[in-house]
Chains A and B, each alone.
Chain A
Amino acid sequence: MLPYEVLCLKSVSLKYATTLAVNNLDLTIYSGEILGLLGPNGCGKSTTLNAIAGNHELDSGCILLEGKSHSQQPLFYRSQIGFVPQELAFYEEFSPFDNLSFFAKLYGIPKNILPQRVNEVLSLVRLDDRAHQPSRSLSGGMKRRLNLACALLHKPKLLLLDEPTVGLDPHSREAVFSCLNLLKEQGCAIIYTSHYLEEIFRLCDKVGIMSQGNLLFLGSIQEFQTRILKKKSKVSLPIPNYRFSDDCDSLLHQANMQRSSLAEDTHSLEQYLIKLSEIKAA
């Protein structure tokens, strides 16, 4: 099946009181495509995801999902989206099976296929052996996977993931990646926010860089590497509170460097990337 346009953001702006959270954002995503959104804390990534999910009114512009806006058909619009918030948004008192059953019912999955669909999703996120344990007894990684699973039950056309791998162990991260790749193969469009550059490089087809509500860069990973890493872009992105991934830690270890020294040397994203590529090359 040929890729088709799933989501289109046209001149989207969002304000909180007097603060401009998202400014004039244009974005298009096709089926089977993964867009990675990068940027420091408070740059507008989560707000953008929430706006796409229909949780916030827009101040201007429009968001079209398969050509339909949220205001036109809110229930249809939301039924096409799977939303994975940053927080572990499920009931810890319930088992994974009961959690998924509840969310499946909200999305109108018929009773006769509900248990089968729940089991499919549990197996997709590799939680089938923990299906009936209380969710609060799961490990952090398992909880993250359950958080993802809750958004997959209704086979969404668009999946929104807000930093889904925060605090994940390598095994759980692999499970999430393989799951996302499978969804991509099935034609699901995915928007993925992260602080981990390595994750974005590995997983995404397109990358967007946000700062202070503005989309500073949007393009393919190849374009990103060419323009940003080879200093052909004027993008200068401050990276306060930048989080370092395990891969980065391992590289730093190999290069006999400390995290703090890297942070001191890099005051912008491109500097960080250049530094990281230098370390990799070394």
Chain B
Amino acid sequence: MIKNQISLLWILALKDLQLFMVDKKAAVLCFLVPIILASTFGYVFSKPLQNEEIKLPLLIIREDESPLAIKLVEALLKSPKLEASLSNRLQAMDRIERRSARLALVIPSGFASMISQKKKIPSIEILHHPASSLEVKWAEGLFTEIAFREAAPELLGFWVPGASSLKLERPFDVKKEQVPSSIDITRQAYSHSFSGMTMQYLLFWGMDCGLLLLREQKQGIWKRLKASPVPLATLLGGKIIATALIALLQILVTFSFGALVFGVVINGSVIGFCMMAIATAILSAATGLLIAALGGNENRARSMAILAILGLSMLGGMWLPSFMLPQWVQNFSLILPTTWMVRGFEGVTWQGMGLLDASFCALVTLLFSFSFILFSILRFQIASSNYPADGVGL
């Protein structure tokens, strides 16, 4: 009996694999698309990281004619940490508004005289676009450092006795050390994009297979299959096996390409990677089945699935690493399968995750998969007895 069911599962899966291979161009594209997506994302995100000498673009507006202000502006223009240029307030505001500049530093009129008169601590202004608040802090720090280094006597001379000959240099050196040391930041960007984009594509692949099932139903093939001496669970099992096998192949092909071309490596457990690959392939198939079970008809299911997949991808950290998302999103995303998929894959590739942690991620992914499958089978069974024979029922 079991042997017979396994044989039937394979017959059904083989049929779907053959159908997949009928259109060879479509089959090739199916492997190319995740590679192109992952490579493009990886390239985009690795570029700024590769450049160690990132300069902060800054417009400088000098409204004070004092020698101190002139000296400070010259120092800012010479700074290797800035991409500074002179501007005026109106022009700067216009450029920031149009987003051709991110921020402008204003040395206001009376800046030096306020210092010399000891009446009030003067202010500098930083004009910035609402989206550039991080750069404001950067500019503030750089200006403070440059001002103290270049003009300490002028700035502090009136306040600190004997400061006229003061030259403030940073009295320490900064040693930078990356932890863990083995990680290449460029590879990290590619590892993230290959993990995220492959997983996202696999969910879409699952969706496509789910829609195919709904199409078979519409064409009457499903009716014929259901009338054959094959249990419903076996019919669905065949679909799961075929979808998961192709998904597994997609993972292997995409990551092999990533390894060969962009140096994406498995820093963690290789067995963990294999477990994650299998769990993710099964989840892809289970997602497809769930879409078919809940979608009702092809058009409705497609719209619903696109929304769900994009949402799950974003919240699960497939687009941007999850640490860049707000804390509440990070907490919420723990109930999403995509979080565990990405966590596992990123873990075993660039974070050096061990077998135990990877097994946990794979186990959670599998639990999600099996609950999807179980729910879908129940839904199919209920639907088959409730819907009209000529309608869109299962």
A residues near B (Cβ < 8 Å) are 16-17, 21, 46-47, 49-50, 53-57, 74-76, 78-79, 81, 83, 85-91, 93-94, 98, 102-103, 105-108, 150-151
Contact = CB atoms under 8 A, between A and B. Distances in A.
Nearest to B19: A93
9 contacts: A54-B227, A78-B227, A86-B390, A88-B220, A93-B22, A94-B22, A103-B228, A106-B11, A108-B229
B114 interface: no
B223 A107 contact: no
Contact of B223 (A50, A79, A106): A50
Given A86-B220, A103-B228, A16 B384 contact: no
B385 A75 contact: no
A90 B221 CA distance: 6
Interface in B341-394: 384-390
B384 A56 contact: yes
Interface in B1-42: 4, 8, 11-12, 15, 18-19, 22-23
Contacts of B8: 106
Given A46-B389, A76-B229, A150-B224, 6 more contacts: A16-B388, A54-B226, A78-B227, A83-B223, A94-B22, A106-B230
B163 interface: no
A87 B220 CA distance: 5
B331 interface: no
Residue of A46, A98, A102, A106 with most partner-chain B CB within 10 A: A106
Nearest to B225: A106
Contacts of B225: 106
Contacts of B384: 55-57
B389 A56 contact: yes
Contacts of B388: 16, 21, 47
Contacts of A56: 384-385, 389
B63 to A, nearest CB: 74
A88 B224 CA distance: 10
B385 A107 contact: no
The size bracket of the interface on B is 20 to 34
Given A91-B19, A94-B18, A106-B8, A57 B229 contact: no
Contacts of A93: 19, 22-23
A49 B227 CA distance: 11
A102 B23 CA distance: 19
Contacts of B18: 94, 98
Given A16-B387, A75-B229, A83 B224 contact: yes
Contacts of A91: 15, 19, 221
Given A56-B384, A75-B229, A87 B11 contact: no
Given A21-B388, A102-B11, A78 B223 contact: no
Interface string B179-222: 00000000000000000000000000000000000000001110
A83 B229 CA distance: 11
B19 A107 contact: no
B231 interface: yes
B221 A89 contact: yes
B153 to A, nearest CB: 84
B219 A89 contact: yes
A85 B11 CA distance: 22
B389 A50 contact: yes
A193 to B, nearest CB: 12
Residue of B220, B230, B387, B389 with most partner-chain A CB within 10 A: B389
Contacts of A107: 228-229
Contacts of B385: 56-57
Residue of B219, B226, B228, B387 with most partner-chain A CB within 10 A: B228
B224 A89 contact: yes
A90 B18 CA distance: 14
A84 to B, nearest CB: 8
Contacts of B11: 102, 105-106
A21 B14 CA distance: 37
B227 A106 contact: no
Contacts of A105: 11
B19 A55 contact: no
A78 B220 contact: no
A83 B226 CA distance: 10
A79 B18 CA distance: 25
Nearest to B222: A89
B223 A81 contact: no
Contacts of A83: 223-224, 227
Contact of B219 (A88, A98, A103): A88
Interface string B306-321: 0000000000000000
B212 to A, nearest CB: 11
B224 A79 contact: no
Nearest to A87: B220
Contacts of A17: 386
Interface in B219-247: 219-221, 223-231
A147 to B, nearest CB: 9
A90 B19 CA distance: 12
A21 B22 CA distance: 40
